[in-house]
Amino acid sequence: MKLVTFVSDYKMTVDTLDRLKPEKLGIILCQNGVFHATTKENGNSSSLLNYTADYYVLKEDLESRGLTAENVVDDKVKVITFGDIVDLMFNEYDKTAWL
Amino acid sequence: MATTKLGFIVQRPGLKSENQKLALTHAIASQSVEIYLDDDDEVLCDVAFIGDGVLNCIKDQKTLENYDLNSTESHVKMGLLCDLNIFVCKEDLEKFGLSESDIVMDANEIGGDMDVRVVPYDEITKMMEEMNHLLFF
Amino acid sequence: MGKLTIGCFASLVGSTNLDFAVKLSAAALEKGHKVDLWVSGNGTMISIEDQRPFKDYSSLQKPLEELMAKGLNVTACEACAEARGYHENNTLEGVKRFSMDWYLGSAFDADRMLHIGGE
């Protein structure tokens, strides 16, 4: 399956993402999940960026937290809008998971 | 005839939120969904408890006695009575030192024929792949 | 164009999950998709009329009314609403109330589905 997951928390309370095995995985960082894209702890990027996945971060939720694309610490994370999410859901993935 | 399959994945313990109850009550609602469908169309729901969610399945829950609320155990039994496939992740049970004897496994006392299936996570992955849509709780 | 079914079980006030669901609905409608929005559990709070907007709380009545005028189909879980004292006579105009099987019926012919659980 081609699965796009929505990560909306900075501290995850479930380990489901570790165990999903889709043939294609997308990770959309939204709400407080955007901090995975922008924040280093003790100099280290979030371990959530270590999956084999396509990464996206929601522009509106970055900006709402005083952040911009310039704060994204890893080039593999693409800044997107709600419209882009719709296109990803319909064109790139067949299932979704809000974790 | 068309069939849509929905996978309800419960990954958190209950009672601190409505998640586990709403997962089961929505899945059980597949019994009456035909009023919205054409003849012969159907929606089938499978339920899987994974991670901390397996803790919802510990038996002898006395939620009704203590909080006047239906227990998750009773909802699992109702799901079995409605012939839902209900899976519990074997590895996660073992992680908590639990086995089949610790969890609700059947609904025999209310006439259910189905049993809870304790399966390796790989089987739950396979179920998720077979579903049209996934709902994580 | 396709059909998107969104379910949101989170409260109107607190998590911005319902804000997310409404904004995603708007984006999908803008692109010509059909959108069903199902609210259940604490999510039914969005279905009450006459909520006074304060800037310290999410307030979605106005955008919801605008989106329903553009075709957004919003349905609240009737039992969840009644359990919270949200009755037919104080439901926002245009919002429907049905039992949980409505959500599954919407999922039946949805091309895509996003389920946003509760808190």
Residue of A15, A95, A99 lying closest to B133 (CB–CB): A95
Pure H helices in C17-87: 17-30, 61-69, 78-83
CA distances from A18 to A9, A14, A21, A50, C62 (A): 15, 9, 8, 10, 39
Options 3.30.1300.10, 3.40.1260.10, 3.30.930.10, 2.60.120.10; which CATH number does C3-116 get? 3.40.1260.10
Query: Where do the domains of chain C lie?
Result: 3-116
Looking at residue B61, what is its pLDDT? 98
- Of chain A, the percentage scoring pLDDT greater than 90 comes to 97
- Of chain B, the percentage scoring pLDDT greater than 70 comes to 100
Distance CA C100, CA A82 (A): 27
Q: What is the mean pLDDT of residues C10-34?
A: 97
Q: Which of C17, C40, C104 to mutate to test the interface with B (most CBs of B within 10 A)?
A: C104
Mean pLDDT of chain C: 97
Pure H helices in chain A: 16-19, 35-38, 59-63, 82-91
Is C112 in Cβ contact with A82 (below 8 Å)? no
Q: How high is the ipTM of this complex?
A: 0.96
With b for 16 or more beta-carbon neighbours within 10 A and e for fewer, the B4-43 pattern comes to: bbbbbbbbbbbeebbbbbbbbbbbbbbbebeebbeeebeb
Whole-prediction pTM value?
0.97
Query: What residues of chain C lie within 8 A of the CB of B25, using their CB?
Result: 100
Q: What is the mean pLDDT of residues B13-21?
A: 92
Is C9 in Cβ contact with B22 (below 8 Å)? yes
What length does chain C have? 119
Mean pLDDT of chain A: 97
Query: What residues of chain A lie within 8 A of the CB of B12, using their CB?
Result: 13-14
Residue of C16, C112, C116 lying closest to A89 (CB–CB): C112
Is B9 in Cβ contact with A99 (below 8 Å)? no
The predicted-structure confidence for C25-73, as pLDDT tens digits, reads as follows: 999 999 999 999 999 999 999 999 999 999 999 999 999 999 999 999 9
Looking at residue C76, what is its pLDDT? 98
pLDDT of residue A13 exceeding 90, the answer is: no
Q: Which domains does chain A have, with CATH numbers?
A: 2-11+21-98 (3.40.1260.10)
Going by pLDDT thresholds of 50, 70 and 90, the confidence category of residue C119 is confident
The predicted-structure confidence for B52-83, as pLDDT tens digits, reads as follows: 999 999 999 999 999 999 999 999 999 999 99
C44 shares contact with chain B (CB less than 8 Å): no
Going by pLDDT thresholds of 50, 70 and 90, the confidence category of residue B7 is very high
Of A8, B122, B28, the C-alpha closest to C116 is: A8
Looking at residue B97, what is its pLDDT? 98
Q: Are B120 and B91 in contact (CB under 8 A)?
A: yes
Longest dimension (CA), chain A: 38
CA distances from B45 to B5, B6, B42, B125, B134 (A): 6, 5, 10, 15, 10
Of C27, C116, C8, C42, the C-alpha closest to A96 is: C116
The predicted-structure confidence for C60-72, as pLDDT tens digits, reads as follows: 999 999 999 999 9
Residue of C17, C23, C111 lying closest to A82 (CB–CB): C23
CATH class of this structure's domain B3-136: alpha beta
Distance CA A56, CA A63 (A): 14
Distance CA A65, CA C49 (A): 30
Per-residue tokens: A43: 């100099």
Query: Where do the domains of chain B lie?
Result: 3-136
Of B11, B6, B42, the C-alpha closest to B27 is: B6
